[in-house]
Amino acid sequence: MATIVSFHAHPDDESIATGGVLRKAADEGHRTVLVSATHGERGEIPEGFLAEGEQLASRRIAETRAAAEVLGVSRVEFLGYEDSGMVMGEAMQDESNFAPNAFWTASVEEAAERLATILREEQADVLTCYDEHGGYGHPDHIQVHRVGMLAAKLAGTPRVYQATQNRDQVLKAMREYAERSGAENFEPPAEIGMPEAELTTEVDVREYAGAKRAAMRAHASQIAEDSFFLAMPEEDFLRAFGTEWFIRVGTPAGISESDLLTGL
């Protein structure tokens, strides 16, 4: 049995990015640990969604634990930082990114030591974090990359995988959708995932898509029933989320793996 620690920025990120590999690992008898840097305090919710006096952070903590149960996660931890909001790109100097205890401007060394403590306690064999631009440029996701990479070094965690997306496939799917829908002047995002040539690991998680979608559904404050994630037909969901992509640190580029725990 091996132990995999999956490190994410906010509640719900774990279900979207690594829900499949977490459920797969749990079903195969491995120990899975989920660590979230923040409580997702700045998430957007519909008016009247929370009960009187209820705080969004508390709701999102509960949602994370519910999603973790669906995914078979053995332990859930929060590093205790605050969500830095959705301000990205050149605007990352926005005051919301510098709020007290915001993850984006936290000490990387301090945050890495908090995560390394968990890695040591668990004697983790594998850590997942994000690619160097956090998948799509979100400041907290970029910080997950920085903190995760340092924490693995501090704790001596032998395998590190950067969760990402296959940029080539995502852009192809976006262009095809734009053509079908008649969208004009389609401008694909500049930063999303990494080129396929730079990836190392392609994990088929279609068998676990039901659990992955149920885990997303547990995050009701952020993922509504009519959202992109839950409203799409099953076939489209499998196409979009039935594969999870990674870069294994220290491994030559080029897809050569289909699992994170091979040999463990």
pLDDT in tens, 238-251: 988 999 999 999 99
Domain boundaries, the chain: 3-248
Q: What DSSP designation does 193 have? A: S
pLDDT under 50 in the chain at which residues?
88-92
| Residue 81, strand partner residues | 38
DSSP 232-258: S-HHHHHHHHSEEEEEETTS-SS--BS
pTM (predicted TM-score): 0.92
Contacts of 103 (CB under 8 A, 6+ apart): 9, 37, 38, 79, 81, 82, 83, 84, 111, 139, 140, 143
| Region class of 101: left (phi > 0), else alpha (psi between -120 and 50), else beta | left
Quickly name the fold that domain 3-248 has.
Rossmann fold (3.40.50)
**Amino acid, res. 72:** G
Q: Give me the pLDDT at residue 94, please.
A: 54
Residue type, 46: P
CA atoms of 220 and 224, how far apart (whole Å):
6
Q: If DSSP codes are grouped into helix, strand and coil, which group holds residue 32?
A: strand
Query: Edge-to-edge, what's the strand order for the sheet holding 31-38?
Result: 75-81, 31-38, 3-8, 126-130, 159-164, 243-248, 201-204
What angle (nearest 5°) sits at the alpha carbon of residue 139, between those of residues 80 and 57? 35
- Digit-coded pLDDT (tens) for 46-100: 888 898 888 999 999 999 999 999 999 999 999 999 998 765 444 445 555 567 7
